[in-house]
Structure 1
């Protein structure tokens, strides 16, 4: 990975981000933002790659498909001054025996002394899984059916990074979904590139009827040539094209992009956890599916 260990959508000011989303919603009301239902892939057009997470409880995700990244300090707090130390322990990422992958953020064990970027030791552990070097989407749809943790200081993310070998943000990033801190019923989807990144990332948001932790939803991105559409449960809420960008030449998404799943704790956008933060705070993933073209 060639970025500075960036995690999710980077350092943000929450109020700035919300204002940006609202402004974009107004600007794009006539540019593909109509809420027409997204059809599922046609019958017979099955996924070219999928992860269904069948296996015994406590077993690790298949190494042939996933890499578990670790650390914090050497990754500069994953680019966002985060407080979790990513591990490859089954306590932080494992199958549950019922067809799910569970990624759990937990307080760090007493005496663990895990080196942290923003303080001497990390106070939480979690996991960050990636398909980098294994599986990537070129054009088509990626969909992830998952239940996301909610609570103060949490930032679960399902997202993609480009495989073009360029340093972030020129690498390109698509945040398929994020649910931040104290906004348990809001899903954010964002794109980052050479001139639009961190608090200037371009995206939208959509409400959920209940907290994201209360049920499974299908979070998806349709990545077509020069057009990306975000949806939840088949309902699109934001579309990005080159004309949406500060400059159309800054479109960097005509490339293979790999998937990442993680639960971050603390950092610049959600703020620190507190006594109300659930522990464990778990992302439960039912399946991941790639449709269209790519590398598997």
Structure 2
């Protein structure tokens, strides 16, 4: 999300281990086209992501319709002010913007208010769930429309103990900008390679369809000195210490997770006459696995 943020200091809390479960990664359905952020080719034909280790934490979003996301897992960040990207939305803790739907999903809703402004929600696991290595994945149906900017991402836990962004690190697992409905992006930001200089690639839907048409599974696998991105089990990029151009690799530390839907901003641009509200990001689950 390319967002400069500051918080009060928090102490990292280790996530409680869930029941052990070993899952194989999704099988690739068909080959996909990848593009680098500058439009050039990324890596060759996608590989199938490897099997993962035991499930160590998850939120399956089971609960009554209209109830809040589990506060043992999620913080709700609130406020406006552009969030470092000239965004338009005001993040709230209202159930109008984030709530369970009663069918095992979390729904984050971006709305246009009666005064021409926008509200949405931004949830984080800071101080509650901060994995280091292993897989982090979520099954999500993203929203659509010009100026709509959904994201599933991570920030280094050190941001809460005095290390500013981007030195604390950022891992964008999935971002979509509404003018590219068929494409999602994965990026890392760190000291010397942040904002528009972030290092990443994009993944194009194998059939060229909009990612908003259905659920998809977005994941990163983290190892010391190495991060691999996949969509629906299709690996589309790997970044290592060799990719940061001699700058510091800051990703071998605890990172917390974020889910949000922004409205407008420097990268996606702003809503126009084609943009319909409300727009919803529907999250089936978020899961963390240890290394296989």
Equivalent residue for 1:152, pick from 146, 154, 158: 146
Q: CA deviation at 1:103?
A: 0.2
Q: 2:67 is matched with which residue? A: 59
Q: CA contact under 8 A between 1:21 and 1:203: conserved in structure 2?
A: no
Query: Is the Cα contact below 8 Å between 1:24 and 1:203 reproduced in 2?
Result: no
Equivalent residues in 2 for 1:1-296, closer than 5 Å = 4-5=4-5, 20-23=37-40, 25=42, 29=43, 35-41=46-52, 45-73=53-81, 77-110=82-115, 123-164=117-158, 165=161, 166-208=163-205, 209=207, 210-247=209-246, 249-292=247-290
Alpha-carbon displacement from aligned partner over 1:72-128 (angstroms, at most 9, x marks no partner): 12xxx1010000000000010000000000000000244xxxxxxxxxxx7100000
- The answer to whether the 8 Å contact 1:141/1:290 transfers is yes
**What is the Cα deviation at residue 157 of structure 1?**
0.4
Structure 2: runs of 5 or more not aligned: 7-34
The 2-side partners of 1:20 and 1:160 are apart by 19
Deviation per CA, 1:169-195: give whole Å up to 9, x if none. 001000001110210000100000000
- 1:35 Cα deviation (Å)? 1.5
Instruction: Quote how far apart the aligned CAs of 1:137 are.
Output: 1.2
Q: How far is 1:46 from its partner?
A: 3.0
Contact 1:155–1:270 (CA under 8 A) maintained in structure 2: yes
Q: What's the C-alpha RMSD, in Å, of the aligned pairs?
A: 1.7
How far apart in 2 are the matches of 1:271 and 1:21? 17
User: How far 1:40 moved relative to its partner?
Assistant: 3.5
SS at match of 1:79: coil
SS of 1:213's equivalent in the other structure is helix
SS in 1 for 2:83: helix
Give, in whole Å, the separation in 2 of the partners of 1:19 and 1:52: 33
Which structure dedicates a bigger proportion of its chain to helix? 1
Does the CA-based 8 Å contact 1:21-1:205 persist in structure 2? no
| Maintained 8 Å contact 2:136/2:288 | yes
What TM-score comes out, normalization by structure 1 length?
A: 0.83
Q: Which structure 1 segments of 5+ residues have no match?
A: 7-17, 111-121
With normalisation by structure 2, the TM-score equals 0.84
- What is residue 14 of structure 2 aligned with on the other side? none
